[in-house]
Amino acid sequence: MSDESNSSQSAKSALLHQLRIDRQETQGRNRGSATFMVAMAVVLALLAGVWWLFPLDNTFTVETATAQALSAAPGNTAVLDATGYVTARRQATVSSKITGRVAEVLIEEGQHVKEGEVLARLDATDAKAQWDLARAQLDVARAQLADLRLLIDQAERDAARQQDLVKQKLVSQQAADDANTLLASRRSRLGAQEQEVKVAERNVELAQVGLDNTVIRAPFAGVITDKAAQPGEIVSPISAGGGFTRTGIGTIVDMDSLEIEVEVNESYIGRVQAGQPVESSLNAYPEWKISGQVIAIIPTADRSKATVKVRISIEHQRDSRVVPDMGVRVAFLENASANTGNQPVPGVLIPAGAIRVQGDVNVVLVVAEGRAHARQVTLGQTYSDLRQVLTGLQANERVVVKPPAELKDGDRVQWQ
Protein backbone atom coordinates (compact mmCIF):
# COMPACT_ATOMS: atom_id res chain seq x y z
CA MET A 1 0.00 0.00 0.00
CA SER A 2 2.78 2.34 0.82
CA ASP A 3 4.39 1.65 -2.56
CA GLU A 4 1.14 2.49 -4.42
CA SER A 5 0.71 5.70 -2.44
CA ASN A 6 4.22 6.81 -3.23
CA SER A 7 3.67 6.12 -6.98
CA SER A 8 0.46 8.22 -7.02
CA GLN A 9 2.13 11.18 -5.38
CA SER A 10 5.04 11.04 -7.87
CA ALA A 11 2.62 11.16 -10.82
CA LYS A 12 0.81 14.20 -9.36
CA SER A 13 4.10 15.98 -8.79
CA ALA A 14 5.09 15.38 -12.43
CA LEU A 15 1.77 16.86 -13.69
CA LEU A 16 2.10 19.93 -11.49
CA HIS A 17 5.63 20.47 -12.78
CA GLN A 18 4.38 20.50 -16.40
CA LEU A 19 1.70 23.10 -15.59
CA ARG A 20 4.14 25.46 -13.90
CA ILE A 21 5.05 28.65 -15.95
CA ASP A 22 8.74 29.15 -16.65
CA ARG A 23 9.21 32.87 -15.89
CA GLN A 24 12.71 33.01 -17.32
CA GLU A 25 11.55 31.69 -20.72
CA THR A 26 8.61 34.17 -20.82
CA GLN A 27 10.88 37.10 -20.02
CA GLY A 28 13.22 36.00 -22.83
CA ARG A 29 10.42 36.00 -25.37
CA ASN A 30 9.22 39.47 -24.28
CA ARG A 31 12.71 40.88 -24.67
CA GLY A 32 12.90 39.45 -28.25
CA SER A 33 9.57 41.04 -29.26
CA ALA A 34 10.61 44.43 -27.96
CA THR A 35 13.87 44.26 -29.90
CA PHE A 36 11.96 43.40 -33.13
CA MET A 37 9.58 46.35 -32.69
CA VAL A 38 12.44 48.79 -32.19
CA ALA A 39 14.19 47.47 -35.30
CA MET A 40 11.02 47.92 -37.37
CA ALA A 41 10.60 51.47 -36.13
CA VAL A 42 14.18 52.29 -37.12
CA VAL A 43 13.65 50.83 -40.63
CA LEU A 44 10.44 52.81 -41.14
CA ALA A 45 12.16 55.99 -40.02
CA LEU A 46 14.99 55.39 -42.48
CA LEU A 47 12.50 54.78 -45.31
CA ALA A 48 10.66 58.00 -44.44
CA GLY A 49 13.91 59.94 -44.52
CA VAL A 50 14.87 58.48 -47.89
CA TRP A 51 11.42 59.30 -49.29
CA TRP A 52 11.70 62.87 -47.96
CA LEU A 53 15.19 63.38 -49.36
CA PHE A 54 14.57 61.53 -52.65
CA PRO A 55 10.84 61.72 -53.47
CA LEU A 56 9.41 59.46 -56.16
CA ASP A 57 8.60 61.57 -59.24
CA ASN A 58 5.60 61.10 -61.54
CA THR A 59 6.80 60.61 -65.12
CA PHE A 60 4.71 62.32 -67.82
CA THR A 61 4.59 61.03 -71.39
CA VAL A 62 4.56 64.08 -73.64
CA GLU A 63 4.81 65.07 -77.28
CA THR A 64 7.86 67.14 -78.13
CA ALA A 65 9.21 69.17 -81.04
CA THR A 66 12.62 70.56 -81.88
CA ALA A 67 13.14 74.30 -82.22
CA GLN A 68 14.09 75.09 -85.81
CA ALA A 69 16.43 77.89 -86.80
CA LEU A 70 14.71 80.58 -88.89
CA SER A 71 17.00 81.45 -91.78
CA ALA A 72 14.30 83.17 -93.82
CA ALA A 73 10.58 83.85 -93.51
CA PRO A 74 8.31 81.29 -95.19
CA GLY A 75 6.66 82.14 -98.51
CA ASN A 76 3.25 83.13 -97.07
CA THR A 77 3.71 84.36 -93.53
CA ALA A 78 0.95 85.40 -91.17
CA VAL A 79 1.37 89.00 -90.17
CA LEU A 80 -1.75 89.10 -88.02
CA ASP A 81 -4.29 86.74 -86.45
CA ALA A 82 -7.90 87.57 -85.74
CA THR A 83 -11.15 85.84 -84.87
CA GLY A 84 -14.59 86.44 -86.31
CA TYR A 85 -17.73 84.83 -87.66
CA VAL A 86 -19.17 83.62 -90.94
CA THR A 87 -21.87 86.05 -92.07
CA ALA A 88 -24.31 86.19 -94.96
CA ARG A 89 -24.12 89.33 -97.02
CA ARG A 90 -27.61 88.66 -98.35
CA GLN A 91 -30.26 87.49 -95.93
CA ALA A 92 -33.78 88.62 -95.13
CA THR A 93 -36.56 88.04 -92.66
CA VAL A 94 -39.48 87.61 -95.04
CA SER A 95 -42.75 89.20 -93.94
CA SER A 96 -46.05 90.17 -95.50
CA LYS A 97 -46.83 93.64 -96.82
CA ILE A 98 -50.15 93.64 -95.01
CA THR A 99 -51.44 92.61 -91.61
CA GLY A 100 -53.33 89.35 -91.68
CA ARG A 101 -53.89 85.91 -90.25
CA VAL A 102 -51.63 83.12 -91.46
CA ALA A 103 -53.60 80.47 -93.34
CA GLU A 104 -50.74 78.26 -94.55
CA VAL A 105 -46.96 77.98 -94.01
CA LEU A 106 -45.04 76.01 -96.64
CA ILE A 107 -41.46 76.19 -95.30
CA GLU A 108 -39.26 74.37 -92.81
CA GLU A 109 -35.76 75.05 -91.46
CA GLY A 110 -33.06 73.86 -93.85
CA GLN A 111 -35.34 73.92 -96.88
CA HIS A 112 -33.89 75.25 -100.15
CA VAL A 113 -36.22 77.65 -101.96
CA LYS A 114 -36.14 79.33 -105.35
CA GLU A 115 -36.76 82.98 -106.12
CA GLY A 116 -40.50 83.63 -106.26
CA GLU A 117 -41.44 80.36 -104.57
CA VAL A 118 -44.49 80.59 -102.29
CA LEU A 119 -43.49 80.52 -98.63
CA ALA A 120 -46.85 81.15 -96.95
CA ARG A 121 -50.39 82.36 -97.53
CA LEU A 122 -52.57 84.69 -95.48
CA ASP A 123 -56.33 84.56 -95.08
CA ALA A 124 -57.54 86.18 -98.33
CA THR A 125 -61.24 86.52 -97.47
CA ASP A 126 -61.22 90.33 -97.17
CA ALA A 127 -58.89 90.84 -100.12
CA LYS A 128 -60.99 88.57 -102.32
CA ALA A 129 -64.14 90.47 -101.35
CA GLN A 130 -62.50 93.77 -102.30
CA TRP A 131 -61.42 92.29 -105.62
CA ASP A 132 -64.94 91.02 -106.33
CA LEU A 133 -66.39 94.45 -105.52
CA ALA A 134 -63.90 96.25 -107.78
CA ARG A 135 -64.57 93.79 -110.56
CA ALA A 136 -68.34 94.33 -110.25
CA GLN A 137 -67.88 98.10 -110.36
CA LEU A 138 -65.80 97.74 -113.49
CA ASP A 139 -68.52 95.65 -115.14
CA VAL A 140 -71.11 98.32 -114.28
CA ALA A 141 -68.96 101.11 -115.68
CA ARG A 142 -68.35 99.21 -118.89
CA ALA A 143 -72.07 98.48 -119.25
CA GLN A 144 -72.90 102.13 -118.76
CA LEU A 145 -70.29 103.07 -121.35
CA ALA A 146 -71.78 100.62 -123.86
CA ASP A 147 -75.30 101.97 -123.19
CA LEU A 148 -74.11 105.55 -123.64
CA ARG A 149 -72.55 104.70 -126.99
CA LEU A 150 -75.86 103.23 -128.13
CA LEU A 151 -77.65 106.39 -127.06
CA ILE A 152 -75.12 108.49 -128.95
CA ASP A 153 -75.69 106.44 -132.08
CA GLN A 154 -79.46 106.98 -131.65
CA ALA A 155 -78.96 110.71 -131.07
CA GLU A 156 -76.85 110.99 -134.22
CA ARG A 157 -79.58 109.35 -136.28
CA ASP A 158 -82.27 111.57 -134.71
CA ALA A 159 -80.26 114.70 -135.38
CA ALA A 160 -79.73 113.75 -139.02
CA ARG A 161 -83.41 112.92 -139.44
CA GLN A 162 -84.49 116.24 -137.91
CA GLN A 163 -82.13 118.10 -140.19
CA ASP A 164 -83.72 116.44 -143.25
CA LEU A 165 -87.17 117.33 -141.98
CA VAL A 166 -86.09 120.96 -141.51
CA LYS A 167 -84.91 121.06 -145.15
CA GLN A 168 -88.31 119.72 -146.21
CA LYS A 169 -89.91 122.33 -143.97
CA LEU A 170 -91.81 119.64 -142.16
CA VAL A 171 -90.50 120.59 -138.70
CA SER A 172 -89.20 123.77 -137.21
CA GLN A 173 -85.54 124.59 -136.75
CA GLN A 174 -86.11 124.30 -133.02
CA ALA A 175 -86.62 120.55 -133.29
CA ALA A 176 -83.34 120.18 -135.18
CA ASP A 177 -81.52 122.29 -132.60
CA ASP A 178 -82.91 120.16 -129.76
CA ALA A 179 -81.72 116.98 -131.48
CA ASN A 180 -78.22 118.43 -131.97
CA THR A 181 -78.10 119.57 -128.35
CA LEU A 182 -79.02 116.09 -127.10
CA LEU A 183 -76.29 114.59 -129.31
CA ALA A 184 -73.66 116.97 -127.99
CA SER A 185 -74.68 116.28 -124.38
CA ARG A 186 -74.36 112.53 -124.81
CA ARG A 187 -71.00 112.89 -126.54
CA SER A 188 -69.71 114.95 -123.59
CA ARG A 189 -70.88 112.27 -121.20
CA LEU A 190 -68.95 109.69 -123.25
CA GLY A 191 -65.58 111.06 -122.15
CA ALA A 192 -66.59 111.08 -118.49
CA GLN A 193 -67.90 107.54 -118.73
CA GLU A 194 -64.69 106.35 -120.37
CA GLN A 195 -62.75 107.86 -117.44
CA GLU A 196 -65.04 106.05 -115.00
CA VAL A 197 -64.20 102.78 -116.74
CA LYS A 198 -60.48 103.53 -116.39
CA VAL A 199 -60.92 104.31 -112.68
CA ALA A 200 -62.77 101.04 -112.22
CA GLU A 201 -59.95 99.19 -113.99
CA ARG A 202 -57.39 100.80 -111.65
CA ASN A 203 -59.52 99.73 -108.67
CA VAL A 204 -59.46 96.16 -109.93
CA GLU A 205 -55.68 96.31 -110.27
CA LEU A 206 -55.40 97.70 -106.75
CA ALA A 207 -57.64 94.96 -105.41
CA GLN A 208 -55.49 92.41 -107.26
CA VAL A 209 -52.38 93.78 -105.52
CA GLY A 210 -54.12 93.38 -102.18
CA LEU A 211 -55.02 89.82 -103.12
CA ASP A 212 -51.44 89.09 -104.23
CA ASN A 213 -50.14 90.47 -100.94
CA THR A 214 -51.77 87.56 -99.15
CA VAL A 215 -49.26 85.27 -100.89
CA ILE A 216 -45.72 85.58 -99.46
CA ARG A 217 -42.93 84.63 -101.87
CA ALA A 218 -39.17 84.20 -101.60
CA PRO A 219 -37.37 87.40 -102.66
CA PHE A 220 -34.30 85.39 -103.76
CA ALA A 221 -33.01 81.83 -103.82
CA GLY A 222 -31.55 80.52 -100.57
CA VAL A 223 -31.99 78.34 -97.52
CA ILE A 224 -34.58 78.79 -94.77
CA THR A 225 -32.75 79.19 -91.44
CA ASP A 226 -35.70 80.12 -89.25
CA LYS A 227 -39.44 79.43 -89.34
CA ALA A 228 -41.08 82.18 -87.31
CA ALA A 229 -44.84 81.81 -87.83
CA GLN A 230 -47.50 79.12 -87.68
CA PRO A 231 -51.00 78.91 -89.18
CA GLY A 232 -53.52 80.90 -87.17
CA GLU A 233 -51.05 83.56 -86.00
CA ILE A 234 -51.28 87.22 -86.98
CA VAL A 235 -48.38 88.69 -88.96
CA SER A 236 -47.72 92.34 -89.63
CA PRO A 237 -44.95 94.26 -91.41
CA ILE A 238 -44.73 96.51 -88.35
CA SER A 239 -44.30 95.63 -84.69
CA ALA A 240 -47.80 95.76 -83.27
CA GLY A 241 -49.87 93.85 -80.79
CA GLY A 242 -47.00 92.95 -78.46
CA GLY A 243 -46.15 89.27 -78.35
CA PHE A 244 -49.35 88.28 -80.15
CA THR A 245 -48.25 89.55 -83.57
CA ARG A 246 -45.42 88.11 -85.65
CA THR A 247 -43.31 90.41 -87.80
CA GLY A 248 -42.04 87.72 -90.16
CA ILE A 249 -42.74 84.33 -91.65
CA GLY A 250 -39.13 83.11 -91.71
CA THR A 251 -35.53 83.98 -92.46
CA ILE A 252 -33.91 83.13 -95.79
CA VAL A 253 -30.14 83.18 -96.38
CA ASP A 254 -28.36 83.31 -99.72
CA MET A 255 -25.56 80.77 -99.21
CA ASP A 256 -23.70 82.19 -102.22
CA SER A 257 -23.15 85.42 -100.30
CA LEU A 258 -21.32 83.95 -97.30
CA GLU A 259 -18.22 85.78 -96.13
CA ILE A 260 -16.16 86.26 -92.98
CA GLU A 261 -16.33 89.32 -90.80
CA VAL A 262 -13.61 89.97 -88.23
CA GLU A 263 -12.78 92.84 -85.94
CA VAL A 264 -9.13 93.91 -86.00
CA ASN A 265 -7.61 95.99 -83.25
CA GLU A 266 -7.09 99.48 -84.64
CA SER A 267 -3.44 99.34 -83.55
CA TYR A 268 -2.81 96.59 -86.14
CA ILE A 269 -5.16 97.64 -88.93
CA GLY A 270 -2.14 98.97 -90.83
CA ARG A 271 -1.12 95.37 -91.50
CA VAL A 272 -4.35 94.73 -93.44
CA GLN A 273 -5.14 95.89 -96.95
CA ALA A 274 -7.74 95.12 -99.60
CA GLY A 275 -6.89 92.11 -101.72
CA GLN A 276 -4.53 90.67 -99.11
CA PRO A 277 -4.45 86.84 -99.05
CA VAL A 278 -6.03 85.20 -96.03
CA GLU A 279 -6.07 81.68 -94.59
CA SER A 280 -9.07 80.83 -92.41
CA SER A 281 -10.06 77.83 -90.34
CA LEU A 282 -13.48 77.13 -88.84
CA ASN A 283 -13.60 76.37 -85.14
CA ALA A 284 -15.66 73.29 -86.01
CA TYR A 285 -13.02 72.06 -88.52
CA PRO A 286 -9.67 73.44 -87.30
CA GLU A 287 -7.61 71.27 -89.67
CA TRP A 288 -9.45 72.52 -92.77
CA LYS A 289 -7.67 75.57 -94.21
CA ILE A 290 -9.85 77.89 -96.31
CA SER A 291 -8.22 80.33 -98.69
CA GLY A 292 -9.61 83.80 -99.29
CA GLN A 293 -8.72 87.45 -99.47
CA VAL A 294 -9.68 90.75 -97.91
CA ILE A 295 -12.76 92.18 -99.64
CA ALA A 296 -12.80 95.54 -97.89
CA ILE A 297 -11.95 97.36 -94.71
CA ILE A 298 -15.06 99.05 -93.31
CA PRO A 299 -14.05 102.74 -93.03
CA THR A 300 -15.22 103.24 -89.48
CA ALA A 301 -14.01 102.19 -86.04
CA ASP A 302 -15.86 100.94 -82.97
CA ARG A 303 -15.04 103.50 -80.31
CA SER A 304 -15.99 101.26 -77.39
CA LYS A 305 -13.84 98.29 -78.54
CA ALA A 306 -11.15 100.17 -80.53
CA THR A 307 -11.60 97.79 -83.48
CA VAL A 308 -12.19 98.03 -87.22
CA LYS A 309 -14.35 95.56 -89.16
CA VAL A 310 -12.80 93.69 -92.09
CA ARG A 311 -14.73 91.69 -94.71
CA ILE A 312 -13.07 88.52 -96.04
CA SER A 313 -14.12 86.27 -98.92
CA ILE A 314 -14.52 82.49 -98.63
CA GLU A 315 -13.18 80.33 -101.43
CA HIS A 316 -15.33 77.32 -100.44
CA GLN A 317 -18.50 79.22 -99.53
CA ARG A 318 -20.68 76.66 -101.34
CA ASP A 319 -19.35 73.87 -99.09
CA SER A 320 -22.12 72.53 -96.85
CA ARG A 321 -19.79 72.71 -93.83
CA VAL A 322 -19.76 76.50 -93.97
CA VAL A 323 -22.87 77.94 -92.32
CA PRO A 324 -23.70 81.43 -91.01
CA ASP A 325 -22.57 82.49 -87.51
CA MET A 326 -19.82 79.86 -87.30
CA GLY A 327 -16.73 80.93 -85.38
CA VAL A 328 -13.59 81.25 -87.50
CA ARG A 329 -9.93 82.06 -86.96
CA VAL A 330 -8.23 84.15 -89.63
CA ALA A 331 -4.54 84.57 -90.46
CA PHE A 332 -3.70 87.58 -92.64
CA LEU A 333 -0.83 86.51 -94.91
CA GLU A 334 2.06 88.38 -96.43
CA ASN A 335 3.48 87.17 -99.73
CA ALA A 336 7.14 86.25 -100.04
CA SER A 337 7.58 89.03 -102.60
CA ALA A 338 6.77 91.52 -99.87
CA ASN A 339 9.87 90.49 -97.91
CA THR A 340 12.68 92.85 -98.86
CA GLY A 341 15.83 91.04 -99.89
CA ASN A 342 14.77 87.76 -98.23
CA GLN A 343 16.81 88.75 -95.18
CA PRO A 344 17.46 86.19 -92.41
CA VAL A 345 14.88 86.22 -89.64
CA PRO A 346 16.08 86.06 -86.02
CA GLY A 347 14.98 83.46 -83.51
CA VAL A 348 13.60 79.94 -83.88
CA LEU A 349 10.30 78.36 -84.86
CA ILE A 350 8.27 76.09 -82.58
CA PRO A 351 4.67 74.84 -82.72
CA ALA A 352 2.22 77.39 -81.37
CA GLY A 353 0.80 74.71 -79.07
CA ALA A 354 4.10 74.58 -77.14
CA ILE A 355 3.55 78.06 -75.69
CA ARG A 356 1.99 78.33 -72.25
CA VAL A 357 0.73 81.67 -70.94
CA GLN A 358 1.41 82.22 -67.23
CA GLY A 359 0.12 85.58 -66.10
CA ASP A 360 1.68 88.23 -68.34
CA VAL A 361 4.55 86.08 -69.64
CA ASN A 362 4.93 83.37 -72.26
CA VAL A 363 6.61 80.15 -71.14
CA VAL A 364 7.78 76.98 -72.86
CA LEU A 365 8.80 73.72 -71.19
CA VAL A 366 12.25 72.67 -72.41
CA VAL A 367 13.14 68.99 -72.08
CA ALA A 368 16.65 68.38 -70.71
CA GLU A 369 18.07 65.37 -68.83
CA GLY A 370 14.67 63.73 -68.64
CA ARG A 371 12.95 66.66 -66.95
CA ALA A 372 10.80 69.59 -68.08
CA HIS A 373 12.24 73.02 -67.35
CA ALA A 374 10.04 76.13 -67.60
CA ARG A 375 11.62 78.96 -69.54
CA GLN A 376 10.30 82.43 -70.30
CA VAL A 377 10.41 83.42 -73.99
CA THR A 378 9.77 86.44 -76.17
CA LEU A 379 7.48 85.81 -79.12
CA GLY A 380 7.61 87.20 -82.64
CA GLN A 381 5.41 86.67 -85.68
CA THR A 382 3.05 83.83 -86.47
CA TYR A 383 3.75 81.56 -89.44
CA SER A 384 0.61 79.48 -89.99
CA ASP A 385 0.62 76.99 -87.06
CA LEU A 386 4.19 77.89 -86.02
CA ARG A 387 5.36 80.71 -83.78
CA GLN A 388 8.59 82.67 -83.86
CA VAL A 389 10.56 82.80 -80.58
CA LEU A 390 12.95 85.76 -80.50
CA THR A 391 14.66 85.16 -77.15
CA GLY A 392 14.78 82.45 -74.50
CA LEU A 393 15.22 79.43 -76.76
CA GLN A 394 18.02 78.08 -78.91
CA ALA A 395 17.87 76.05 -82.11
CA ASN A 396 17.64 72.25 -81.70
CA GLU A 397 16.32 72.48 -78.13
CA ARG A 398 13.40 70.16 -77.48
CA VAL A 399 10.11 71.64 -76.19
CA VAL A 400 6.91 70.04 -74.95
CA VAL A 401 3.97 70.43 -77.36
CA LYS A 402 0.54 70.91 -75.75
CA PRO A 403 1.87 70.38 -72.20
CA PRO A 404 -0.60 68.90 -69.68
CA ALA A 405 -1.96 71.37 -67.15
CA GLU A 406 -0.52 69.33 -64.25
CA LEU A 407 3.01 69.26 -65.73
CA LYS A 408 5.26 71.56 -63.67
CA ASP A 409 8.80 72.80 -63.79
CA GLY A 410 11.20 69.99 -62.83
CA ASP A 411 8.81 67.07 -63.44
CA ARG A 412 10.19 63.96 -65.11
CA VAL A 413 9.09 63.43 -68.70
CA GLN A 414 9.47 60.90 -71.44
CA TRP A 415 8.72 61.89 -75.01
CA GLN A 416 7.35 60.22 -78.06
Determine, yes or no, domain membership for 9. no
Same domain as 235, residue 107 = yes
Are both 356 and 410 inside the same structural domain?
A: yes
- Could you tell me if residue 44 is inside a domain? no
Do 185 and 228 belong together in one domain?
A: no
pLDDT confidence band for 358 (50 / 70 / 90): confident
Asked if residue 171 and residue 130 are part of one domain, the reply reads yes
Structural domain includes residue 30: no
Confidence of residue 103 (pLDDT cuts 50, 70, 90): very high
State which of 194, 224, 253 marks the end of a domain.
Answer: 253
Do 110 and 233 lie in one domain? The reply is: yes
Structural domain ending residue among the three candidates 338, 359, 388? 338
Q: Where is pLDDT greater, at 372 or 164?
A: 372
Parent domain of 165? 125-203
| CATH code for position 294 | 2.40.30.170
Q: What is the 3-state secondary structure (H, E, C) of the chain?
A: CHHHHHHHHHHHHHHHHHHCCCHHHHHHHHHHHHHHHHHHHHHHHHHHHHHHHCCCCCEEEEEEEECEECCCCCCCEEEEEEEEEEEECCEEEECCCCCEEEEEECCCCCCEECCCCEEEEECCHHHHHHHHHHHHHHHHHHHHHHHHHHHHHHHHHHHHHHHHHHHCCCCCHHHHHHHHHHHHHHHHHHHHHHHHHHHHHHHHHHHHHHHHCCEEECCCCEEEEEECCCCCCEECCCCCCHHHEECCCEEEECHHHEEEEEEEECCCHHHCCCCCEEEEEECCCCCCCEEEEEEEEEEEEECCCCEEEEEECCCCCCCCCCCCCCEEEEEEEECHHHCHHHCCCCCEEEEHHHCEEECCEEEEEEEECCEEEEEEEEEEEEECCEEEEEECCCCCCEEEECCCCCCCCCCEEEEC
Residues 259, 242, single domain; the answer is: no
CATH of the domain at 117: 2.40.50.100
Q: Within this chain, do residues 117 and 248 fall inside the same structural domain, yes or no?
A: yes
Give yes or no: residues 117 and 218 share one domain: yes
Least confident of 48-52, 58-62, 401-405: 48-52
Q: Is 39 inside any structural domain?
A: no
Examine residue 165 and state whether it is found in any structural domain, yes or no. Answer: yes
Q: 20 in a domain, yes or no?
A: no
Q: Is residue 246 part of a domain?
A: yes
165 and 234 fall within a common domain: no
The per-residue pLDDT for range 109-160, each reduced to its tens digit, is 989 999 999 999 999 898 899 999 999 999 998 888 888 888 888 878 877 8
pTM higher than the cut 0.85: no
Structure confidence at residue 309 (pLDDT): 93
- 184-237: pLDDT as tens digits: 887 878 888 888 889 999 999 999 998 999 999 999 999 998 998 889 888 888
Is 360 among the domain residues? Answer: yes
**Are 192 and 331 within one domain?**
no
Count the domains in the chain. Answer: 4
Tell me: do 115 and 246 sit in the same domain: yes
**Are 330 and 277 in the same domain?**
yes
